[in-house]
Chains A and B, each alone.
Chain A
Amino acid sequence: MKYMLMMHARMGKGDWEIFNWPAQDIKAHIDFMQRLNKELRDAGELVGGEGLTGPGQARLVRAGNDGRPLTDGVFPETKEFLAGYWIIEVDRPERAYEVAGKASTAPGPGGKPLNMDIEVREVMSCSPVEV
């Protein structure tokens, strides 16, 4: 079974909070993520994943009535934003929650765990069981 883990990070002033951290804390955070990725890769569980650029560059695109795209800019009222995601393949949901739990503890300012929200969603598959 495959799961998508979506990391919801707190927004800062128009962008990621992390941009305002001291250099050493940023480094500790990045190191943590790289270690986690390596662990998942080495276990043969990592199917894919990416980090995303800051919300300051995010655009919402929606077609208008004439079919032409309308875009929307920064979203100041949003407190959390998708910062990145992983897709992992595991043999039971508990393992996905375990990975998410670990990702949630990524260090923030002063090395304190961020306890971020990690949304865990099972990816739909094409293998039906008998009906």
Chain B
Amino acid sequence: MNDKNNGKLGDWWTRREVVKTSAAVGVGAMVATRLGRIKRAIAGTGKTDELRIGLIGCGGRGSGAAEDAIESTPNVRLIAMGDLFPDRLAAARKQFSGNKFADRLTVTDDHAYSGWDCFEKVLKTDIDYVILATPPGFRPMQLKAAIAAGKHVFTEKPMAVDGPGIRTLFEVADEADKKKLSIGVGLQRRHHPGYIEMVKRLKGGAIGQIVGARSYWNQGALWMKPREKSWSDMEWQLRNWLYFNWLSGDHINEQHIHNIDVVNWVLGKNPVAAVGMGGRQQRVDPAFGHIYDHFAIDFEYPGDIHALSMCRQMLGCVNSVSEHFQGATGQAHADNKLFEITGKKKWKFDGEANPYEQEHADLIAAIRSGKPYNELRRGAESNLTAIMGRMATYTGQRVTWDQALNSQESLMPAELAFGKLPVGPVPIPGKTKFL
């Protein structure tokens, strides 16, 4: 990996790591082994196969992921959780107490943490498996800390928002392999039987050579939390993390990564460059930070194959969240619950699935069987694809894979603390520079 300069993020992390997580690393070393050999006792059963989970980031998705993990597989227990905000921590705990599997969501007061260092505290507990579900900007440092602490990881997507972050992901992926730790990535389409079967057929030539692709995440608007007087800049941005590039990487990265990942999966390669256009037309109020509300990207793949990619979060427009492939002898369409191949080798998926549980079930099964399992590299590649698309759109330039990967632009603020944090300008294509 080319990594001459890890940027501010790396510097920041290194400092904190030395000061605060040396203990976590020590504990980690003791359990840095696949769970298949850990064999924990399951309370009251005499059996020994319990997997203990910690949750970092207790918002709607994080607490949903914890429930998905618990419901996906027997003998799994949530024992620790952390969130920067005490109110979010309390809300998630209350939610868990009403879950039908509440007996496996047993986080005691002394294992529930809030504050900036909550993730370090969760990693110091006796967990085997950590779910990372804070805003994506924090993910590279938390992934690095989790693997350093010897934990298996389920990370929500995306895992990074900038080039330095992506480079950290590739390092972490290597480190996890060395330590025989498993990493699952929340790109749940990879665990949906409809997608799996469709991709298998496409790779088997069901529509001949694939000559082009289209993918979309065009939807209406998303939630926004009006600023409260007591909130500092930092708190306001964190509570509205979608709308700030350093936290979400913009919606092309935060949502459209799902569709982009399917295109990379089917084509079996990553794009070499991107050209894009986009902007911000409906969501112009500063309450929505500085991200765009629409993008349209031309991703250029090896062999002069192009994939059109659109994402939009605007009201009153036609919506679609789907992927489509044009082959020499047919087409393939994945659109919500529909999976269809046309042409001579017609096929339609007929089945039900819950990929949000399946992604945990697959990861946990791999951990228990000792089978190598690491989705981070391919996840990071799709993550970088989205970031490259954003960079091409923001700058108005053709941005290559290598440029995006080696970008020196770190979006992480110099200091992580509640206080002043100015919002960067809305990028203007043709004026905004590639860094």
- Verify that A and B bind, or say they do not: no
